[in-house]
């Protein structure tokens, strides 16, 4: 293992030295390539030029000419994975949840489609470093609060600033659908769930706003910043991310998007999505499902239902990905690969679990031509691992790359580990 690290360090140092000259080429050779689309290439070759992948092939069948490459790194015995995604995330928008001054993911007001997370994104967040070391290399910076929270953007996790980080700006608007039930939570005054008496009135209010926005999109005589942000939604240039879980809400959402002709709706949460899979498939509505490290939502649910949801959606043919919204989600972003590992333990194959946090996410976000898998023409965002990144017991990320540039794998946690490790070693 030490020899591998020395070899990679030498190659990395050499390639960084070349980075000042444009369009240098590099070949990652003979690693096991997990493409992200379900395919695995043993002894794979990955050719990189600039920030793009220009070659993906099998070393056993490819007629390799070493003179075509400025740098060749031998990865025999190691595994290569596409960069993982953290969709629906406050990563980069908050640093310490308990400190109000570091929280920049919520604005006052109820309907804020014009509020953009893009310019609030902090590329220098200390938390980002702890996430990259587990292979999470992209995030969807997502606002919260109100009925319409605002507009998210897709960012890479290796950048100088938000301008440098953006992969797709203003990718979609986030709508918090009203809950059809109230109570039943540990912090609720009602120990059991009951119908939400305000659900119908809230739904009428949302529909009225969208109908007004639709009418506005058909005229050029007025200017309203809220409705202006909605214009691209009705053109199909933005997605509508609808946060909802209950079956009745999901059925109402299907009717809502059909009647208003929303071209790219996405469900975020979707706890009951497996119950309405046929309807979701009929209208091509994908789901960003919450990772399974949680308790069931209903008293009569099987105890393992949150763990089996990815498998149930896969069996039903619903396009889905895994996200980790909830309490302490920002710092727990690093655990997204392990959420996929749990889904693997409850029915998904290893490659299906990898797709659930890579290519599937890219498809749902609409950037599958740029990212999400290790394929020719896509951005060179990937990482090399000794072991599997889906299991915290064997996860050992050796090198990472974002848009063709190697990334620093140290962070505040690794620095503290090394600091105190040396302290106690010196005391022996």
pLDDT tens digits, one per residue of 41-58: 999 999 999 999 999 999
Contact 76, 43 (CB under 8 A): yes
Taking the alpha carbons at both ends of the chain, their separation in whole angstroms is 25
The answer to whether residue 83 scores a pLDDT higher than 80 is: yes
Q: How far apart are CA 118 and CA 365, in angstroms?
A: 15
Please give the structure tokens belonging to residue 393.
């017991």
Same domain assignment for residues 171 and 318: yes
Please state the rounded mean pLDDT for residues 69-87: 96
CATH value at residue 105: 3.20.20.140
Domain tally, the chain? 2
The answer to whether residue 384 scores a pLDDT higher than 90 is: yes
Is residue 309 in some structural domain? yes
So what's the pLDDT on residue 3?
42
Please give the structure tokens belonging to residue 391.
């299991």
Q: Residue 67 half-sphere exposure, CB side, CA atoms within 13 Å?
A: 0
SS3 content of the chain, % helix, strand, coil (to 5): 35, 25, 40
Please list the alpha-helical segments (H only) found in 245-335: 247-259, 277-282, 305-316
The answer to whether residue 16 scores a pLDDT higher than 60 is: no
Same domain assignment for residues 220 and 318: yes
Q: How far apart are CA 355 and CA 419, in angstroms?
A: 36
- Residue 10 to residues 23, 47, 342: CA-CA distances in angstroms? 20, 19, 36
- Rg (the chain; Cα; Å): 23
Please give the structure tokens belonging to residue 377.
């023409």
Same domain assignment for residues 171 and 188: yes
The answer to whether residue 2 scores a pLDDT higher than 60 is: no
Contact 292, 343 (CB under 8 A): yes
pLDDT band at 4 (very low <50, low <70, confident <90, very high): low
So what's the pLDDT on residue 1?
45
So what's the pLDDT on residue 195?
85
Q: How far apart are CA 25 and CA 7, in angstroms?
A: 18
The per-residue pLDDT for range 98-136, each reduced to its tens digit, is: 677 777 777 888 999 999 999 999 999 999 999 999 999
Same domain assignment for residues 76 and 216: no
Is residue 248 in some structural domain? yes
The answer to whether residue 190 scores a pLDDT higher than 70 is: no
Is residue 378 in some structural domain? no
Please state the rounded mean pLDDT for residues 59-87: 94
So what's the pLDDT on residue 17?
45
Q: How far apart are CA 110 and CA 174, in angstroms?
A: 12
Is residue 258 in some structural domain? yes
Same domain assignment for residues 71 and 101: no
Is residue 423 in some structural domain? yes
- Residue 192 to residues 27, 184, 298: CA-CA distances in angstroms? 59, 4, 9
Please give the structure tokens belonging to residue 200.
């119908």
Q: Which carries the bigger pLDDT value, residue 427 or residue 396? A: 396
Same domain assignment for residues 390 and 291: no
Same domain assignment for residues 100 and 172: yes
Please state the rounded mean pLDDT for residues 286-300: 89
Backbone torsions φ then ψ of 299, nearest 5 degrees: -60, -35
Task: Round the average pLDDT of the chain to a whole number and report it.
Answer: 90
The answer to whether residue 424 scores a pLDDT higher than 70 is: yes
Tokens 């895994």 sit on residue:
322
Q: How far apart are CA 380 and CA 355, in angstroms?
A: 17
CATH value at residue 409: 2.30.40.10
The answer to whether residue 27 scores a pLDDT higher than 70 is: yes
Q: How far apart are CA 271 and CA 276, in angstroms?
A: 11
Contact 104, 120 (CB under 8 A): yes
Is residue 209 in some structural domain? yes
So what's the pLDDT on residue 329?
85
Same domain assignment for residues 159 and 238: yes
Q: How far apart are CA 379 and CA 375, in angstroms?
A: 9
The answer to whether residue 87 scores a pLDDT higher than 50 is: yes
Same domain assignment for residues 237 and 308: yes
The whole-model pTM stands at: 0.91
Query: How long a stretch of residues is the chain?
Result: 428
**Measured on CA atoms in the order 342, 344, 347, 353, is the torsion positive or negative?**
positive
Same domain assignment for residues 98 and 77: no
The answer to whether residue 140 scores a pLDDT higher than 70 is: yes
pLDDT band at 153 (very low <50, low <70, confident <90, very high): very high
So what's the pLDDT on residue 72?
94
The answer to whether residue 168 scores a pLDDT higher than 80 is: yes
At CA 35, angle to CA 348 and CA 71, rounded to 5?
150
Same domain assignment for residues 90 and 76: no
* 340 Cβ contact list (under 8 Å, min separation 6): 291, 322, 348, 353, 354, 356, 357, 390
Please state the rounded mean pLDDT for residues 28-42: 96
Is residue 376 in some structural domain? no
So what's the pLDDT on residue 106?
78
Please list the alpha-helical segments (H only) found in 271-382: 277-282, 305-316, 336-345, 350-355, 359-365
Please state the rounded mean pLDDT for residues 6-14: 49
Is residue 379 in some structural domain? no
> Which residues span the domain enclosing 396?
2-82+385-427
So what's the pLDDT on residue 171?
96
So what's the pLDDT on residue 14?
46
Same domain assignment for residues 196 and 297: yes
- Percent of the chain at pLDDT > 70 equals 93
At CA 156, angle to CA 153 and CA 161, rounded to 5?
85
> For residue 269, how far is the Cα from the chain centroid?
14
The per-residue pLDDT for range 226-256, each reduced to its tens digit, is: 999 999 999 999 999 999 999 999 999 999 9
């Amino acid at each position: 293992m030490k020899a591998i690290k020395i070899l990679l360090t030498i190659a990395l140092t050499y390639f960084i030295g070349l980075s000042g000259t444009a369009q240098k080429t590099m070949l990652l050779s003979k690693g096991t390539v997990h493409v992200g689309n379900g395919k695995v290439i043993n002894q794979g070759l990955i050719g990189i030029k600039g920030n793009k992948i220009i070659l993906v092939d099998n070393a056993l069948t490819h007629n390799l000419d070493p003179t075509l490459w400025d740098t060749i790194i031998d990865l025999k015995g190691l595994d290569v994975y596409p960069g993982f995604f953290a969709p629906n995330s406050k990563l980069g928008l908050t640093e310490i949840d308990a400190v109000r001054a570091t929280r920049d993911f919520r604005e006052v007001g109820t309907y804020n489609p014009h509020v953009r997370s893009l310019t609030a994104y902090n590329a220098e967040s200390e938390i980002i470093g702890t996430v990259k070391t587990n292979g999470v290399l992209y995030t969807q910076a997502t606002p919260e609060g109100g009925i319409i929270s605002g507009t998210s953007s897709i960012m890479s996790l290796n950048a100088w600033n938000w301008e440098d980080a953006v992969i797709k700006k203003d990718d979609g608007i986030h709508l918090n659908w009203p809950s059809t039930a109230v109570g039943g939570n540990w912090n609720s005054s009602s120990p059991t769930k009951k119908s939400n008496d305000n659900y119908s009135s809230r739904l009428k209010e949302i529909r009225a706003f969208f109908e007004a926005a639709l009418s506005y999109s058909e005229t050029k005589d007025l200017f309203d910043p809220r409705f202006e942000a909605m214009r691209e939604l009705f053109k199909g240039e933005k997605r509508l991310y609808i946060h909802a879980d209950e079956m009745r809400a999901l059925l109402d959402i299907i009717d809502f998007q059909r009647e208003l002709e929303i071209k790219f709706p996405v469900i975020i949460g979707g706890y009951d999505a497996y119950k309405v899979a046929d309807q979701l498939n009929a209208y091509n509505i994908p789901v960003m499902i919450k990772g399974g490290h949680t308790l069931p939502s209903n008293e009569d649910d099987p105890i393992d239902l949150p763990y089996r949801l990815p498998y149930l959606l896969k069996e039903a043919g619903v396009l889905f990905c895994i996200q980790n919204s909830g309490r302490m989600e920002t710092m727990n972003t690093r655990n997204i690969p392990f959420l996929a590992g749990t889904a693997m333990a409850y029915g998904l194959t290893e490659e299906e679990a990898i797709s659930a946090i890579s290519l599937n996410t890219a498809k749902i976000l609409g950037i599958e031509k740029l990212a999400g898998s290790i394929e020719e023409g896509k951005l060179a965002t990937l990482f090399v691992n000794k072991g599997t990144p889906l299991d915290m017991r064997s996860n050992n990320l050796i090198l990472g790359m974002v848009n063709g540039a190697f990334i620093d794998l140290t962070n505040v946690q690794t620095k503290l580990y090394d600091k105190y490790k040396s302290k106690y070693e010196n005391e022996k």
